[in-house]
Amino acid sequence: MTTSQEALDQLSSSARISLGDSKSIFITFVDLCGSTNFKTYCRERDIPDGIWIERQLIFLNRVVRGIQRYNGIIIKTIGDEVMAYFDSSTDSEVVLRCMTEIHTLFGDIKKYDKGLWRIESKISVDFGEIYDSNLQLLKDDIIDPVGIIVDRCARLNSICKPSEVVFSSSYFSILKPSQQLKYAKLKEEKKLKGIGKSELYRIQVGIIKTT
């Protein structure tokens, strides 16, 4: 009987590629809320493009620096979104602390702290095995991950609300028992496009905080 790995090897051989070795990482997407609406608002009122661009660049700059403070690796920025990862050796609670802290990084900017102008983030986190698709487009030491956790994390972000951190059951499973007990009551089930029924957990920053 052909194993799943053997089947994958046969397919990749026929496509003349090598899957290489899989590895486990923490993956996160950090998204700027309301950027399309704000851009539309500016353009409809002839507000210079520099305003919505400045707002976006402030967000990207602070998120990138916030993740790097916790030794996270930035994969890329995608418009108004930051995609990053943490090595599997990182304490899972450190990852969550970093993510909740990011939500607090924008409140000191008076220009962007009210109404539609306000800078807010939404964040998803997942954990699991990926393959590296870095085709010499990024630095050699940067992973460009491909795998179900990447797709799932992106889908989790799509249902995330402002100032929330949403994480998967895979991430939940590696938290310490005390943290699992703390967040167990937050469990939901959602059908995610292209993924299927998934368990997830929501943390609203300012209501429930990590220790």
- Residue 69 is assigned to a structural domain of this protein: yes
Query: Which percentage of the chain shows pLDDT scores above 90?
Result: 73
145 by Cβ neighbours in 10 Å (0-12 / 13-18 / 19+) ranks as buried
- Residue 2 is assigned to a structural domain of this protein: no
pLDDT tens per residue, range 111-122: 998 999 999 999
- Residue 161 is assigned to a structural domain of this protein: yes
- Residue 125 is assigned to a structural domain of this protein: yes
Question: How many domains are there within the chain?
Answer: 1
Cα→Cα distances 185→14, 27, 95, 180, 202, Å? 47, 23, 20, 9, 10
User: HEC states along 3-71?
Assistant: CHHHHHHHHHHHCCCCCCCCEEEEEEEEEECCHHHHHHHHHHCCCCHHHHHHHHHHHHHHHHHHHHHCC
- Residue 157 is assigned to a structural domain of this protein: yes
pLDDT at 107 over 60: yes
Token pair of 5 as six digits: 């790995």
pLDDT at 49: 95
Rounded CA separation 199/169 (Å): 6
More reliable by pLDDT, 12 or 40: 40
- Residue 12 is assigned to a structural domain of this protein: no
pLDDT tens per residue, range 156-178: 999 999 999 999 999 999 999 99
Q: Look up the domain containing 67 and give its range.
A: 22-132+141-204
Domain harbouring 43, CATH code: 3.30.70.1230
- Residue 45 is assigned to a structural domain of this protein: yes
Considering the entire predicted model, what is its pTM? Answer: 0.85
| Phi, psi values for residue 142, rounded to 5° | -105, 130
- Residue 3 is assigned to a structural domain of this protein: no
> Under a CB-based contact definition with an 8 Å cutoff, are residues 80 and 97 in contact?
no
Residues ≥6 apart with Cβ < 8 Å to 8: 19
